Structure 1
Amino acid sequence: MNGMPTNRTNPILIGMLGVFVSNISHASALEQSGQSILPFLENGNYAEANLFAVDSSVSGIVNDRADLVRDHQSRDTGDIAESTQFYTAALKLQLTDRLSLGVLYDQPFSADIKYPARSNNSYFDNDVSHQGTFVKADTQNLSMIVGYSPVEHFQIYGGPVYQTVKANLGLRGNAYTQAFNGYNAKFKQEGEVGWLLGGSYQLPDLALKAAVTYRSKIKYKFQVDENIYGEPLKLVENEKTKLETPASLNIDFQTGISEQSLIYMNLRWVNWKEFETRPPQYGALSEIIMKEATGGAYTQGFKLDSYQNDQYSATVGLAHQFTEKWAASTDVSWDSGTGDPASTMGPIKGSWSLGLGVQFNPAKNYFIAGGIKYYWLGDTKTEDGTYYLPIEGIKPFAEQADFKDNHAIAYGLKFGYRF
C-alpha cells in the first residue's frame, strides 16, 4: 500500500470550522439557534462558548385600503426587526472509550419585532397608546446527553431536554380593527421537559462525521395575562393556554476531501405546522367578531398566531486549512419558510444565505473562530389571522401588506477548548 494517496485531515485544526457558520440560523417562524448536536460529537473532552448577533432589515408596504391606512399617509411600515443577540455553550466529557456525557445550552426559538411610529396608523396607534405592534419571545434549552458506543466508530445518544419559554406581545393600529387595537398578552415563563435521541458514525482520520438527531415537541400550559390598554379582558373563564414548541430533525454530515479541506452539510426539519396559540380571551373576542362579520355563519373565531407549513432548511459548505494556525470556510444555505402569506408578527418567507468563517488556532488544544452570514429574506404578503378560515371571499380582506427586498446580517464568535 506504500505510495497510495491518503485523505487524512487534521480535525483539530478544521474539524470545527466546517459547522461554525451554519449554526447561525434566521428566517423561519421563531427559528434561531438551529439546535446543533455537533459539539457533543467532538473527540475527547471538549468545551465551547458562542456569541451570535443578528441585524435585520424588514419592512413592507401596506395595501392601499381605507380600513388600513389613513388618508394621504405613506403606506411604509418602517423597519420592524429589532437587533438581537443570543448565546450557546457546550461541554462534552469522554468518560470511557464507550461512554460519553454532554451538556448543551442554546436559545432555539426567539422573536423580537416592533413596528415603529408611522402616521398611517396601520400597525401603530397614534391616538391612545402611541405604541406599535410588538412581539418579544424567548426560549432557553438545557440538553443533558448520554452517549454509548456499542461498536467502534458508532454511537447512540439521547437524554432529557429542559426548556423554558416566555413571551410578551401587543397589537396596535387599524390592521387589528377597533376590537383588538390595544390588545396585550403576557405569557408568564414556564419550563417543561422534552427529549432527544440520535446516532452518529465517525472516522476521525478522515474527519468524517455523520449524525441524525431527533428532538421531541414540548407541551406547555401557560397562564396568560390579557388586557386592552391595561384594562383586564375577561369574556370567559381564564383557562390556561396550550402551546407546543416544535419537534425537529437534524441530519449532519462532514468529510475530508483532501489533506487540507473538508465539505459539510446540514439538513433540518422543524414541525412548525403543528404550532399555534390562542389565549382564552383573545379566542372569545375573535368568536364575537367573526359571528358579527358573517351574520352568524361562522362562529369559531381565529388564532393569535400559527404557521401553515413545516420548515425545511439545507446548508452546504467547504472548509480549508491554509496553515497550521489559520483556516476558513464558506457555505450556502436555503430555508423554505413556513407559509405565504405570513403572519404580521413574522413577515418572512424563508431565505437564501451566504456565510464566511475564519478560525485561528493559537495551540492544538484551543481555537477562536468568527463568522458572518448574509441573508436574502424571502418576499411575502402578510395576513391578519383570518386568511385560512373556511369563509368564501375572506382572503382579499385578510391580506394586509407586501414585504419585499429584505435582508439580515448575522455575526458569530466561537471559543473552543480541548482538555
Structure 2
Amino acid sequence: MNKLLTGAAAIALSTSAAVAGGIERGGNAYSVLYEQGNYAQLGFSTVNPNITGDYPTSLGGGDTDNMAKSYSHLSFAYKNDLSEALSLGFFINQPYGANADYTQGVYQGLAADWKSDQVAAVLRYKVNQNFSVFGGLRYVRSSADIAIPDALIRSGVNDALEADNVRAAVAAGEAQLAQAQAAEAGLQSGNPVIEAATIAALGLPAGTPVAAALAGVQAGIAAATDPAGDLARGQAAIAAVDTGPVGTFDYTAAGDNDGRVSYILGAAYEIPDIALRVSLTYESGYTHEFDTKEFSTGLGIAEGTSGTTEVEMPQSITLDFQSGVAKDTLVFGSIKWAEWSKWEVRTPAYAAATGSAVTGLDNDVYTYRLGVGRKFSDEFSGFARVTYEDAKGGVASRLAPTDGSLAFGIGGTYTMDNIKITGGIEYVKVGDAEDGSGVEFSGSSALGLGLSVGYTF
C-alpha cells in the first residue's frame, strides 16, 4: 500500500493531550522506526484548553474562569538504517506538563506548573520480513512549582481538625497535662500527707519515693509540652484556624530539575502487502526525586525549608495497529494503559504540617483511538480519528479537574518528492468533574492544531 497513505497512521499530533489522563502531553512516535530509508521529522502543536467550574454557594458562588493555560509542544524524531536488519531511532519531546492557574473566586492564587523534556534512543531489529523487536532507553528531566492560597489551606486544615477529632484529642491532652501539673505541685508541697495522697492518686504503690514519683510526672509534663509533640502541634493548628495565623497560610513549593532514566521494550508484526502492522510497546516507570524548597508562615514552614519530594511516574503499555481495508484506505488505532494511580505529589514539610499530599490521582488511565486514512491522489491523503478516555467518577484534583474525554480530529498529508507535510486539527470534549469542595466543572473543551514535516534521505 502506498506509503503516502500509511503515513496517516503515523501522524504524531499531540493535540488530544491537552486534557489527557494524568499530566501526559505527548510521547515518542515509534512509528518513525518503520519509515522507509533514513528519515527525520519535526513536529509542532499548540493547544488551547477551556476548563471552567462553578463554585457552590458555600464558597461564595460564581465561576472559576478558565484555569488551564494554553501551551505548545515541539518534537523531533530521527531514524537511521545501520544495516538491512538494524535501525536506530532518536526522539526529543516534552512528554508531561501542567499549567493550572485560577484567577477568580476562592481558588484565586492556586497555580501549578510542571515542565519536562525527554530524549530517547531506540534500536529496532528486523528478525524477518514480518517480525521485529525494539528497545532502548529514555531520559526525562522535569521540574515542578506550585502555589496554594490561604483560603484553601485554611479550609483543608479545618476539615482535617474535624475529621480526625483533633479538637477532642487536644482537649484530652490538655486535661492530662493539667492533672500532671497538679500532681507535680502536690509532690513538691513539702507536706507528707499531701505527697502520700498524690502518690496514691497517681496509682503508684504506697511507699513510692517522692523523688521517683516526681521524676516520672515531670518527664510526662516535658513530653506533653514538647513544641514538636502532638499536643503542641494540635494546639497550634486549632489556634491558627480559630484565630488566624501570624502571617498567612499561603503555601509555595519549587522542585528543582531532576532527570531519570527508564527503558523501552517492544515488538511488532507486519504484513507489508496490506499495510498491516501490530505493535506492542512497554515504557517502564521511574521515580523523580525533586530537591524542594517550601514556604508557609501559617503552617510553620520557614522560607527556604528544603527536602526531597519523590514523585512516581507511570509505566505504560500501548498496542498500536494499522491495516489496509480497501483500495487506498487504511484503518489505524491504539489502546494505551498508563498507571497514573501511583502519581502523587507529597512535599515533606507540607505533608508533616497537614497530613496530606499537595495533589495526586486516584485512577489508571485507558486511552482508545481509532481512525481511518484515505489516499485521494499521488500527492495527498487525509485522515480522521476519534480518541476516547473513559470517565472514572470520584473526586477530581483541583489541578486537573477533568474526568475522561472524547476527541475528534481530522488532517491530511501532502507529499512532494522526499518531503512529507502533515497537518491537522482536533477538538476535545472534556468530561465533567467535581472536586472535593463541590466545585462542578462542566462544558469544558480544548482545541489543538498540529503540523509535522518529514524528510526521507
TM-score between both structures, scaled by the size of structure 1: 0.82
Q: Tell me the equivalent position of 1:266.
A: 334
CA contact (8 A) 2:295 2:304 kept: no
Q: Tell me the equivalent position of 1:275.
A: 343
Q: Tell me the equivalent position of 1:394.
A: none
Could you say what secondary structure the match of 2:326 adopts? coil
- Alignment gaps of 5+ in structure 2: 158-247
Q: Tell me the equivalent position of 1:129.
A: none
Counting aligned pairs with the same residue, the percent is 27
1:336 aligns with 2:387: no
Stretch moving more, 150-159 or 330-339: 330-339
Q: Tell me the equivalent position of 2:315.
A: 247
Instruction: Measure, in 2, the Cα distance between the counterparts of 1:375 and 1:19.
Output: 20
Query: What does 1:19-418 align with in structure 2 at a 5 Å threshold?
Result: 19-20=10-11, 23-26=14-17, 27=19, 28-65=21-58, 68-69=59-60, 74-116=61-103, 118=104, 120=105, 122-124=106-108, 132-172=109-149, 174-177=151-154, 181-228=249-296, 233-234=301-302, 238-286=306-354, 301-336=355-390, 340-363=394-417, 365-383=418-436, 399-418=437-456
Q: Tell me the equivalent position of 1:395.
A: none
Q: CA deviation at 1:281?
A: 0.7
- Alignment gaps of 5+ in structure 1: 1-8, 125-131, 287-300, 384-398
Q: CA deviation at 1:312?
A: 0.2
Instruction: Measure, in 1, the Cα distance between the counterparts of 2:13 and 2:325.
Output: 19
Paired letter, 2:131: F
State the superposition RMSD in angstroms: 2.1
* CA distance 1:35–1:341, change in 2 (3 Å): farther
Q: CA deviation at 1:412?
A: 0.3
* CA distance 1:183–1:236, change in 2 (3 Å): closer
Instruction: Measure, in 2, the Cα distance between the counterparts of 1:412 and 1:189.
Output: 28
TM-score between both structures, scaled by the size of structure 2: 0.76
Could you say what secondary structure the match of 1:342 adopts? coil
Instruction: Measure, in 2, the Cα distance between the counterparts of 1:203 and 1:241.
Output: 47
* CA distance 1:237–1:52, change in 2 (3 Å): closer
CA contact (8 A) 2:295 2:303 kept: no
* CA distance 1:181–1:38, change in 2 (3 Å): farther
CA contact (8 A) 1:226 1:232 kept: no
Q: Which structure has more strand as a fraction of its residues? A: 1
CA contact (8 A) 2:13 2:424 kept: no
Q: Which structure has more helix as a fraction of its residues? A: 2
CA contact (8 A) 2:12 2:29 kept: no
* CA distance 1:94–1:58, change in 2 (3 Å): same
